[in-house]
Each structure stands twice: as structure tokens, then as C-alpha cells.
Chains A and B, each alone.
Chain A
Amino acid sequence: MNIINQYPKTFQWIFLILVFFGLCFAIDVPENYKFIRAQAEHSKVAGQTEFNFIGITVRYIEYNFLWRIPPLLGWLPIWVNDSMFFLLNDWLPMEFWDPDVEKYKTRPLILQITRVISGSILFLIEFIREILIGGIKTIVAITSWDWIDENPWAELPGIPWTIVTAGTVILSYKLSGKGLAIFSLIAMVYISIFGQWEPSMQTLSFILVAAPVSFILGLSLGIMAYKSKTVEKALYPLLLVMQTMPQYAVLVPAMVLFGIGDHSAAIITIVVATPPMILLTLLGLRGISPEVIEAGKMSGCNDFQLMFKVLIPTARRDILIGVNQVIMVCLSMAVIAAFIGAKGLGWNLLLALNRLNIGLALEAGICISLIAVLLDKMSLAWANKQTDYFGNLNFMKRRKYELFFVVTVLIGLVLTYFGSFYLKDGYNYLYEVPHNKGISTAEFWNRGVDWIWDTFFYPLKIFNTWLIQDVLQPMRAAYLRMPIVATFVLVMGAGYIIGGIRSAFVVGGLTLFIALSPWWDRALVTAYMATFGVIASSIIGITMGTLCAQNTYSSKFILAVCDIFQTFPSFVYLIPVMMLFGVTDTSVLIAVIVYATIPATRYTVEGLRSIPPALNDAGAMSGVNNLQRIFKIDFPLAFPHIMLGINQTIVFALFMVIIGAFIGTEDLGQYILKALSDLKGGGKGLILGICVAFIALIFDNLIKTYADKRKKELGYVS
């Protein structure tokens, strides 16, 4: 009894686990159960039951409800889809002026709105794109094809790559100094001489539209949420779901609403990139000391002046970190959105992966990563840069960077001009290195892949078979073997022990949604893959983090490495693993592990390094050795922070598992991928995405609640 009182939580956990396993063994697998690839689909299978709800028929196989509950929400994806189509095609037809035929036309309101948005975004993207690499579409858009035919000279010329490069280098130097300038020079020259200039600029133009729009949207919504509790409360759950939903999932609805192409990719990127901007704006505004606000008020500011002259400038740093986040999301979307037609590097990457041309994929991947790292460092430097005072400098000094840039533009133009002179019959390399004329290393890499396959075929194969047969399949079977009640008991019980009755109901509700959707079994498979990834990543990450945290230099080094790896768009991770393991589950899992190890490592290092040195000194005084220190002092203190890292690890792992569907796995991700090629898949994609988000949110809720409590107990102020 005494022990139970002393460790009540431990005994609650033991009890919970006993009940869980008890249920698992008590409830037999029904005889007619098998892993169903398509529950509640419209295909007919023997032994199906069906029900009808608002005119939608849902078919499913009925089991003992302790084993699996019927998909009572099976109608939801179809209904969402139908509603979307109804809104788009039939709702509120109105008269709109159509400039193409110069007549009024009847069109449903939503359709017209989406067309107008698509049109303007597309115009913007093409405008910027043609400034960068030339073209005629912009001029066509403001005049007409006939006019172009009459005036063949009318074409945006595009900026020579030398000038863009010089501009980037000067900007980098201004923001951060020599180091970044050199890096940007190398990156830009690399992109150019490897013949990736055109797709890179296509990607860049897409980001240059999506990022500012997300910024403005996020900032305004953030301000609104700051001013009104109601808006904040309405936005908050949406933001949570958006942040944990795989970006894949929103592609399909976007495709339905806006069609295929750069514009719809940009729009969906904006949707995905806005939430972090909102959150950081809110964070920044909330962080302002109340006295500064009062000082503003006492200076006689009206609401507008208070917002734009006091609040936003004061929250500048957080807002610019938001800009950095927006840029990073945009870049990772640049690849994912290629599925719905974003041109550029992402498109080339997907194409190459599809053809299993690892070499080409690698080249595109490196370019994207270079751009990502460059933009990341530049925007961070901007955020951390403090305003300087120029009032006492003369014009030349104040504007030296601008002047310098003008000079390089002139030089670049002259170079291009001479280039067109000398390199007349070939290509003007000083203007742009064409795609197929650059240096290509694809051959080399492909040979490398072949060599790896030839040399390591057996060891790799043995490893692969072992992993699949002895680890993955048993694990998967065990997950599928869980009766649904047992899952609920486990999840809600954990919620109760950690956060009380409220937490139990929140996680229970999230689980219930998934259970009632038609994809419970798939969700279990997703969960199993993620679990495997999370366990492996956590072990690797925590070990590596602990080792590196013992020393200031190695800590700094590993954090820098994490920074760089984190900027790579998630898709890039698939390239090297496909190189090694081909198209198998193993590849996906290894990509998951690599990707998800980043947050585990980072949070471990941060957690361990942020322990007050006084505590370690105290430990040393009482004579602990290194190992004792790590396990008795460091770990317990850093544990809450490490748990937050594990939380991130889960989100990262789920993202990658879903992306892994591209290689071919049997989880929710594969369905999302299927929904992509299904015009009626909009509702499905969305609900699938929500299911994945909910899996992440279940863990998020449990871990955050735990970490908060523990931090309070340890006396951290949070």
C-alpha cells in the first residue's frame, strides 16, 4: 500500500497496461476479419452491410463493435466532396462580365471568385517569372495575342544570371557579411553552371508570389487574433490542425477548386504557409511589454498609430522569424505542389524520381536545398539585424549597396552584350546556361547507384529482408491485432493519467473521429510506421544529442547540422534512400528515421545545454561522476524539453510516412496519393489529412500536457 501511495502514477500506468493487454487477449480476431484495402468504398464485397445517410450509401463489413466500430462517418468525405462541387458549380449563379468574349455570362459565385483569384495569382507568378527569365505571357495578358503578332519585339527580356547572382551576393553581404555572401555566390554559380537556372527561377518566382501573400495574410490575421479573443478562439483549432496536417492532404481540395497549374500550387502554398505567420505574429504582439503599449497610448496614439508605429515595430523580430518560416514552408511546398503542377525544380525532381533517375533527382534536390539554405540564412539574418542609424552619413555612404548594385547591373548588361557577340552561334552563357548545356553529374551519380547495387546487393538485400520479415511485419500485425476498445482504453487512460479527465476526453474525441472514418485500419498502419520511425529516431537522436551536448563545440556543430538538415525540403530525403534501398518500405522508414532524428537530436542538445550550470557545480561538489551526472541530474531536468522534441519527432515522422506513399506504402498516405488522381477525391483527401493530423494531435496533447506539468514541478517558468 505504501509503495502504491508513493508511486501512484507508476501503478496507474501498470494497471492501464494490464487492462490493455487483457482486452487484447480477451477479444478474439473475428473469423471474417482481414486487412481491408477499401472499406466503405463503393466496391461491393461479399458479406457487406450498408446504411444510408443523406442520400449517401456507405458499405462496410460489420464486426463485433468491440473489435471495430462501423464507419458511421463514412459519408463525410463524399458529402464534403459533393458540397464542394455544389458550391463550385451550382450555388448562387450570377452575371459576371467576361472580358474574353466581352459579354455578361452567368456563373456560380464561388467559381467566379476562384477564377478571379487564380487569374491574378497566375498573372503575378508569370510576371515575376518573366522578369527573371524572360517571356511574353505578361505582355499578352495586358494586350492581346494579335498585338504581339504585330509587334514581335515586345517580350520581357529576362535578367542575365550574372546580375541576379550579383544582386543576391550584395544583399547577402548587406544582411550578414562576408560568409553568407560567399555562400550565396557559390550557390548561385553552382545553380547556373549545372544548367538548373531556368527551373530554379521558376521555383523562385513561385516563392516570390506565395511568400509575400502569406506574409500579408498571416500578419493581418495575426493582428485580428491579437485584437479579438473571438477571432483567436476561432482560429486556434484551425491553426493546430493545419500545422499537423500533412501538406499533401490539402493538394486535392486545391486542385478541385483551382485546377492544375502554378496558380493553384501557389494558392495552396499560401494556405499552408499562413498559419505559422499567424502564430508568430500573435506570439510577437503578445510578448510586448504592457508598459510599451501604455507609453504608446500616453503619447496619444490612435488605434492605427498604435498598431503600426508601436506594436509591429516592437514585435519586429518575431514577425521576421515568421517570414523565415513562411519561406521555408513555401520551399518545401515547391516540391509537394509539383503534384498539382507547380513548375520548376520540384517538378523536375518528381519527374526524375518517377523515372528512377536518381542522378537527375539528386541535382534538382541539391539546387532546392541550396536555395532553401540560402533563403533561410538570409531571412534569419534580416530578422536578427538591428536597425542602424544612418542619419549622420552622407548620401554615398548611406546608399553604397544600392550604388554598388547599379554598377554590377551595368557590368552584367555589358557582359551579356559582349556574350551575345562572341558566343553567337552557340548559346549566350553569360545570359543563361540552358538546361541541357550545363555540366551534368547525373551520369556519375547513376553509375554510383549502379555500383552500390552491384557491390552491396546481397548485404542490402539481406538487411532489407530481415527488417521487413522479422521486424516490420510482426509489428504491423500486432498493431492490426488491437481491438478498438483496447486502443480507446489505452489512449484515454493515458490521457487521464497525464492530464486528467479533460485530456482523456480530448484525445478520446480525436481517436473517435478516426475510428468512425472508413480508414481505421489504414490509420493503424500509419501509426505503426510512425511508431517504428519515432522509436528509432528517438534512440538515435537522444544518444547523439547527449554525446554532443557534453562539449560546447560539438553542441554548436550538431545544432548547425540540424539547422541545415531541417531546411531541406522533406522530399529531398527520399533521394538518397531510394539510391540505397530502392522502392521499398525500408526506404521510406529510413527516410523517416533520418528526417525525424533532427528534432530529437536538437531538443536533446538544447535541453541538456540549458540546465543551469550551478546545478552541475552542485553535483560536482557532491562528488558525482560523469555518468551519474548525466542520469541523475541532467536527464531528469532536461526530460520535459526532450519530450517536446519527441513531439516534433512524431510530427516529422508522420509527415515523412505520408510522403513515403510516393514510393508506395499501404497507409493513409497512399490513399491521399490516390485521391490526387481522382477528380472526386477532394473530400477524401481532406478527411484523410485530418485523420493524420489527429494522430499527431493525440500525441501532441499528451506530450505537451505532460511536459508543461513537469516543467512546473521542476520550477521552470513557462
Chain B
Amino acid sequence: MTIENPVIKCDSVYKIFGANPEKMLENNSGNVDPKIFQEAGYIVGVNNASFEVSKGEILVVMGLSGSGKSTLLRCISRLTDATSGKIYIDGQELLALKNKELIELRRNKMGMVFQSFALLPHKTVLENIAFPLQIKGMKTTDSISKSIEMVKLVGLEGRENYFPRELSGGQQQRVGIARSLAVEPDIWFLDEPFSALDPLIRKEMQDEFLRLQSSLKKTIMFVTHDFDEALKLADRIAIMKDGIIEQLDTPANIVLSPATEYVKKFTQEVPREKVLKIESVMDQKDEGRNLSDFTVSKDAIIETVAEKILGQEKSVAVVDNDNNKVGIINPTKIIRILFGEKKSE
């Protein structure tokens, strides 16, 4: 699948850590076997990653600890230089950029949120948010008024003059988010932004993230450990293992047709109803049946409509975007999906 004008495009990107990684890669003529590399004293961070991200898409990168998620993000933001391969940002080749151009790119197009917040301890909330703007050379008054806007956006009014040490984790991360959005970047990197937060605040932040994205429409790469989070946010998910992207696809496809054993294991515990759309479980339409008045969209995720369907006595019609009937779904089927399917498998 190729996308027209991808915002981010990676072409066989490798990142190897060690003494002389270019040489090592050349000697193995591009064939990276982590074992051989490890014995030679090299660590494989990213192994032959090729993918594209289109405008306005949220790509969630998943994988176990040490699978290379952060490293991939760092390559694309060029916080580290990829060992080999090509990365294009808006068609511009990233690794060919000069230092000045790279700084310009970061000042105007990229924003990043960090797992441990990474706020500057000596600056207040407002100053932290204004920091990238001031670095760009914006006038103090302008940068402050812009920052006040951002403070409102992330709901931190009244704490503008607090120092990071005086804020809770969730509040600090809001500052991190505001800071990364202050320059109005087109591309937004988030590296496990919510991992350090407790479940309640995490949920709140996720909702807020979706709210922001629905109005901002940025191109996003989002790293997380948490499958629930991935499902909630992702347009597409990339699953990484030992630096390799094992599968990159929509959540439903990943759950329904895992490409490798690893992905299968990874997705085994995932509740189907959170991933699958009604479309993938509906039955053939059967004109003779007596249907309930209630209808569901074929694109609805099962979990979100399950309760409503279970509330009906009769089967429910499934409709497409133009309200044409395309199938039916029976409450008993929903019950089976929710409670029984795993055992029967």
C-alpha cells in the first residue's frame, strides 16, 4: 500500500548501536541477525523499517520494552542519525539536511512529548511553554500571549507561574503537551506520554488527546506499551519486536489476521469487542426477519454499541454510511463475542 504524498516515509531504516555500525552493516550486506550482532558487541535498535504515514493519521507504535520504539522515533526526529536507510519528511530527505535546516525543521514542523515530561526545572509553566517560541526568536510578549493560549488549551489556567516541581505528573505532562504544540507543528511525536500517569488521569489525558486531535488534525506517531491505549487512539498500529516492525495495519486487521506468531501472541489477550467493527461479525441480511427499529453503523466498534444491541429483543439491522441495510446482528451473537468466544476457540 502506498500513500500519496506521505508526511513521513521510512525506507529500510536501520539503527545499530556500537563501535562502528556502518562497517558492521556493510559486512553483513544488510542482513541483520540480532544474535550475530550481539556477539560482535552491537545492539540492534531498528531493523529494516519501511513504512509511510499520511497526513492527519495517528500511527501507534507498540512493542515490549527494548523493542526499539523510542529509537525509531529518535531516528525520525533525527535526535540520533539512522545508520542506514532513507527518511523523508514531507518529501525532504531528513539525513541530508544540514544542521541549520534541521533546526529550522524542528522549530517549525516537529513537536515531541516525552515519557518523563522533560520540562526545564528552572522555568515556570508559562516559560516552559514559551521556550520553543523564544528559541525561534519570537518576541517575549507574543510568545507569552501564545503560551497563555496553550495553557488554556490543556486546561492549566491558574498555574501559569508554577514551577514543574510544584505540579503533579498529569499536570506536568500537560505542560509537555502544550510546549510541543506551541510552535504549531505538523508532525507530532509522542513517546509514551501517558505511561507515568495513574489509570484515571491516563484515561482523562487520552480523551483530551483525542479531543485535541479532532480539531488539530496533526500527523502523529504515538508510542505506547498499552494495547488498550493503542486501540483507543490508533488509525494504524505498528508492532515492533527486536527492532523489526512485525506488522503494520489497522487494529482490526492486526487482531483478525496477525501476520506472525509474535503478533498473534501479542494480540491474544485483546478483547475482540474493543477492536472489531460490527461489519466483521454481522450476518447476511435476511429480508424475512422481524427487525428492531434500532440500527447500528457497520463501522461502529462492537464494545461501543454492545449495550444498546443487548437491550433489543429482536435482531438489529446494520447500515452503511448512506443508511442502506447491509446486514443484521443478533443479540445472542454479541453475548457470544463478549463472554464465550474465547473458550470456544
User: CB within 8 Å of B: which residues of A?
Assistant: 289, 291-292, 294-302, 305, 309-310, 313-314, 316, 386-387, 389, 391-392
Q: Find the residue from A305, A313, A389, A392 having the highest chain B CB count within 10 A.
A: A389
Task: Given A299-B179, A301-B135, A313-B122, output 13 extra A-B contacts at Cβ < 8 Å.
Answer: A289-B118, A294-B74, A294-B112, A295-B118, A298-B106, A299-B107, A300-B107, A300-B108, A300-B132, A300-B183, A314-B121, A389-B161, A391-B124
The answer on a CB contact under 8 Å between B163 and A298 is no
Asked whether B297 is an interface residue with its Cβ less than 8 Å from the other chain, the reply is no
A300 to B103, CA, bound (A): 5
B116 contacts across to A, CB distance below 8 A: 289, 291
The answer on a CB contact under 8 Å between A316 and B135 is no
The answer on a CB contact under 8 Å between B135 and A299 is yes
Tell which of B108, B110, B120, B163 touches A389, judged by Cβ atoms closer than 8 Å.
Answer: B163
A386 to B124, CA, bound (A): 12
B264-287 toward A: CB 8 Å interface, digit per residue (1/0)? 000000000000000000000000
The answer on a CB contact under 8 Å between B106 and A314 is no
Within the complex, the shortest CB–CB distance from B103 to chain A, in Å, comes to 5
The answer on a CB contact under 8 Å between B161 and A305 is no
- A299-B106, A299-B135, A300-B103 are contacts. A294–B163 as well, Cβ < 8 Å? no
The answer on a CB contact under 8 Å between B131 and A291 is no
- A292-B118, A294-B118 are contacts. A299–B161 as well, Cβ < 8 Å? no
A298 to B113, CA, bound (A): 9
A391 to B130, CA, bound (A): 15
Tell which of B115, B121, B124, B131 touches A299, judged by Cβ atoms closer than 8 Å.
Answer: B131
A302 contacts across to B, CB distance below 8 A: 99, 103
Within the complex, the shortest CB–CB distance from A151 to chain B, in Å, comes to 47
Within the complex, the shortest CB–CB distance from B285 to chain A, in Å, comes to 52
The answer on a CB contact under 8 Å between A295 and B135 is no
26 A-B contact pairs sorted by A residue (CB < 8 Å): A291-B114, A291-B115, A291-B117, A292-B120, A294-B74, A294-B79, A295-B114, A295-B119, A295-B120, A295-B179, A296-B120, A297-B79, A297-B106, A298-B132, A298-B180, A299-B132, A300-B106, A300-B107, A301-B103, A301-B135, A302-B99, A305-B135, A309-B135, A314-B121, A387-B122, A389-B161
- A292-B118, A305-B135 are contacts. A298–B161 as well, Cβ < 8 Å? no
The answer on a CB contact under 8 Å between A389 and B124 is yes
* Chain A interface SS verdict (over half): helix
B176 contacts across to A, CB distance below 8 A: 295
The answer on a CB contact under 8 Å between A300 and B180 is no
Within the complex, the shortest CB–CB distance from A389 to chain B, in Å, comes to 5
The answer on a CB contact under 8 Å between A298 and B122 is no
A392 contacts across to B, CB distance below 8 A: 161
Asked whether B68 is an interface residue with its Cβ less than 8 Å from the other chain, the reply is no
Within the complex, the shortest CB–CB distance from A625 to chain B, in Å, comes to 43
A175 to B114, CA, bound (A): 34
Q: How large is the interface on B (under 10, 10 to 19, 20 to 34, 35 or more residues)?
A: 20 to 34
Tell which of B111, B114, B163, B183 touches A386, judged by Cβ atoms closer than 8 Å.
Answer: B163
B103 contacts across to A, CB distance below 8 A: 300-302
A389 to B106, CA, bound (A): 29
Within the complex, the shortest CB–CB distance from A246 to chain B, in Å, comes to 38
Within the complex, the shortest CB–CB distance from A379 to chain B, in Å, comes to 18
Asked whether B136 is an interface residue with its Cβ less than 8 Å from the other chain, the reply is yes
B122-136 interface (Cβ within 8 A of A): 122-124, 131-132, 135-136
B51-77 toward A: CB 8 Å interface, digit per residue (1/0)? 000000000000000000000001001
B135 contacts across to A, CB distance below 8 A: 299-301, 305, 309
Tell which of A298, A314, A391 touches B120, judged by Cβ atoms closer than 8 Å.
Answer: A314
The answer on a CB contact under 8 Å between B161 and A310 is no
Within the complex, the shortest CB–CB distance from B71 to chain A, in Å, comes to 12
B140-183 toward A: CB 8 Å interface, digit per residue (1/0)? 00000000000000000000010101000000000010011001
B232-247 interface (Cβ within 8 A of A): none
Tell which of A289, A305, A316 touches B122, judged by Cβ atoms closer than 8 Å.
Answer: A316
Within the complex, the shortest CB–CB distance from B8 to chain A, in Å, comes to 15
B115 contacts across to A, CB distance below 8 A: 291
With both beta carbons as reference points, the residue of chain B lying nearest to A300 in the complex is identified as B107
B161 contacts across to A, CB distance below 8 A: 389, 391-392
A299 to B113, CA, bound (A): 11
The answer on a CB contact under 8 Å between B106 and A313 is no
Tell which of A298, A305, A387 touches B110, judged by Cβ atoms closer than 8 Å.
Answer: A298
A389 to B131, CA, bound (A): 16
A272 to B187, CA, bound (A): 51
With both beta carbons as reference points, the residue of chain B lying nearest to A310 in the complex is identified as B120
B183 contacts across to A, CB distance below 8 A: 300
With both beta carbons as reference points, the residue of chain A lying nearest to B99 in the complex is identified as A302
With both beta carbons as reference points, the residue of chain B lying nearest to A293 in the complex is identified as B118
Within the complex, the shortest CB–CB distance from B223 to chain A, in Å, comes to 13
A310 to B119, CA, bound (A): 10
B180 contacts across to A, CB distance below 8 A: 298
The answer on a CB contact under 8 Å between A314 and B122 is yes
A185 to B110, CA, bound (A): 55
- A386-B163, A389-B161 are contacts. A294–B114 as well, Cβ < 8 Å? yes
Tell which of B74, B114, B136 touches A300, judged by Cβ atoms closer than 8 Å.
Answer: B136
A316 contacts across to B, CB distance below 8 A: 122
Within the complex, the shortest CB–CB distance from B128 to chain A, in Å, comes to 9
With both beta carbons as reference points, the residue of chain A lying nearest to B112 in the complex is identified as A298
A301 to B107, CA, bound (A): 8
A189 to B136, CA, bound (A): 51
B79 contacts across to A, CB distance below 8 A: 294, 297-298
B19-42 toward A: CB 8 Å interface, digit per residue (1/0)? 000000000000000000000000
B165 contacts across to A, CB distance below 8 A: 386
A316 to B131, CA, bound (A): 18
B123 contacts across to A, CB distance below 8 A: 313
Interface pairs A-B: 5 shortest CB-CB:
A300-B107, A299-B132, A291-B118, A295-B118, A298-B112
A389 contacts across to B, CB distance below 8 A: 124, 161, 163
A294 to B119, CA, bound (A): 11
With both beta carbons as reference points, the residue of chain B lying nearest to A291 in the complex is identified as B118
The answer on a CB contact under 8 Å between A313 and B120 is yes
With both beta carbons as reference points, the residue of chain B lying nearest to A297 in the complex is identified as B79
B124 contacts across to A, CB distance below 8 A: 389, 391
- A300-B132, A305-B135, A392-B161 are contacts. A295–B122 as well, Cβ < 8 Å? no
A386 contacts across to B, CB distance below 8 A: 163, 165
A289 contacts across to B, CB distance below 8 A: 116, 118
Within the complex, the shortest CB–CB distance from A386 to chain B, in Å, comes to 7
With both beta carbons as reference points, the residue of chain A lying nearest to B182 in the complex is identified as A299
A295 contacts across to B, CB distance below 8 A: 112, 114, 118-120, 176, 179
Within the complex, the shortest CB–CB distance from A315 to chain B, in Å, comes to 10
